[in-house]
Amino acid sequence: MTAKNQRIFISFIALWSVSFLFLFSPKVHAAPNGPTTVGSYLTTSPISLDVTVSPGQSETATLAVQNDSSQPETINVKLDKFSANGNFGAASIVTPEKTDPSVGWVHFSKTTFVAQPGVWNNITMTISIPNYASLGYYYAVLFIPKSAQTSSNVSEQIKGANAIFVLVDTNSTNEAKQISLTSFSSLSGLYQFLPATFNILVKNIGNIHLIPQGDVYISRTLNGKVIDTLPINSNLGNILPNSSRQFTAIWTDGLPSFEAKTVDGQALTVKNGQPVEQLRWNFSEPISKFRFGKYYAHLVLVYNNGNHDVPINAYLTFWVIPWKLILIILAAIAAVIVFWKSIKKGIKQLITRNKNKKFKA
């Protein structure tokens, strides 16, 4: 092998090695900017509650709280209100104005009680709506342990409490139920491997809360055969009036795909808490699940405007091309070709030298 060919061969080997490390090294994803939950030793149920009460009528709902500590705890029940905070379903709990009449429409079967360890306690919430009420009302029922009330700071008390969000719909004739699709986007236009992530940003442009639902359909051609179906808002998340909410759909059904790296069943993270992902090769999967080429994502989102279901459609395209893997294969092929040509050339030169020696002899 000549010095020039050696340099070429070494260059290809180096390129192949770097590509190999780049392809199979753990992948770190930034953690989503979603709401965080401050821990407490209370468990409440449900997380949220939708209640429909016509003007002039009353409705009751049962709220439950359990003391998860080992000691009895005195719990106070407090009524606040809430609004949307950001686009990820988080809520801002606020103290109602003293002039807010809707606070007086709500009563509890008990506002202070002693919760024994491991025992569920039921509290009846009665909502009596006057004839002049309209549209929606958004209550936050706080269960505050006495131990969290040692601080005079209201925000510190809320951190030590659990909240159940109650959304009241009065079925008013003035309700305008309408949402608009702000954007339907893919996290990337080109993926090396799955998962592929789709974000759906929806705004409630009406005056009452709504629950949109739908699916993202994956296909190889526009309106072609559906490869996979990704549900949207299966948890039935509400969108409050004049607020937006982002829903996410993730397509993971492919070969290979990145998945969260775990150790002893626990997700592995780096120092700043970001999750680590590794490439998974499941060779038991059929070859038809190897994802390559151009794909279409068709969003169908549906909400009810009070009279009928209203569909919203949107489309986008994206590519899945394992370009790093392709680079490794091409580099390996090129290295083999260069090596083989160098061997052939070396053999040819050796034969020529032997012939020359025999000729001189």
> pLDDT per residue over 48-69, tens digit each?
999 999 999 999 999 999 999 9
Peptide bond just before 46 cis, omega within 30 deg: yes
Q: Name every residue whose Cβ is closer than 8 Å to that of residue 152 and which is 6 or more positions away in sequence.
A: none
Q: What is the mean pLDDT of residues 171-198?
A: 95
Identity of the residue numbered 163:
A
The answer to whether residue 15 scores a pLDDT higher than 60 is: no
Residue 13 confidence (pLDDT) above 60? no
pLDDT digits (tens, 9 = 90+) for 78-89: 999 999 999 999
Whole-model pTM: value is 0.78
Q: How far apart are CA 126 and CA 123, in angstroms?
A: 10
Exposed e or buried b per residue across 173-185, where buried means at least 16 C-beta atoms within 10 angstroms of its C-beta: eebebbbeeeebb
Instruction: Give CA separation, 282 vs 253, 254, 279, 327, in Å.
Output: 11, 9, 10, 21
pLDDT higher than 70, residue 155: no
pLDDT reported for residue 28: 47
Is the distance from CB of 54 to CB of 310 less than 8 angstroms? no
DSSP-assigned beta bridge partners for residue 213: 302
Residue 153 has pLDDT above 90, yes or no: no
Length of the chain (residues): 361
**φ/ψ (deg, to 5) at 127:** -115, 115
Distance CA 113, CA 123 (A): 10
Q: Which residues, 6+ apart, have CB-to-CB distance to 36 below 8 Å?
A: none
Helix (H, G, I), strand (E, B) or coil at 79: strand
Cβ atoms of 103 and 79 closer than 8 Å: yes
Beta-bridge partner residues of 230:
216
Determine phi and psi for 135, rounding to 5 degrees: 65, -140
Q: With CA atoms as reference, report the closest residue to 81 among 61, 96, 102.
A: 96
| CA pair distance 243, 95, nearest whole angstrom | 20
More confident residue, 242 or 342: 242
Q: Could you report the per-residue pLDDT of 103-123, keeping only the tens digit for each?
A: 999 999 999 999 999 999 999
Identify the pLDDT of residue 94.
Answer: 95
Helix, strand, or coil (residue 337): helix
Give 1 or 325, the one with higher predicted confidence: 325
Which residues, other chains included, contact 357 with Cβ-Cβ below 8 Å and sequence gap of 6+? none
- What does the pLDDT read at residue 171? 92
296: CB partners within 8 A, 6+ apart: 218, 219, 220, 221, 222, 223, 224, 315, 316, 317
- Which band of pLDDT confidence, cut at 50, 70 and 90, is reported for residue 152? low
Return the higher-pLDDT residue of 155 and 32: 155
Please report which confidence band the pLDDT of residue 151 belongs to, taking 50, 70 and 90 as the band edges.
low
Q: Average pLDDT, stretch 6-32?
A: 45
Q: What is the DSSP string of 26-64?
A: -EE-PPP--------SEEEE-SEEEEE--TT-EEEEEEE
* DSSP conformation class of 275: B
Element (H, E) at 346: helix 323-360
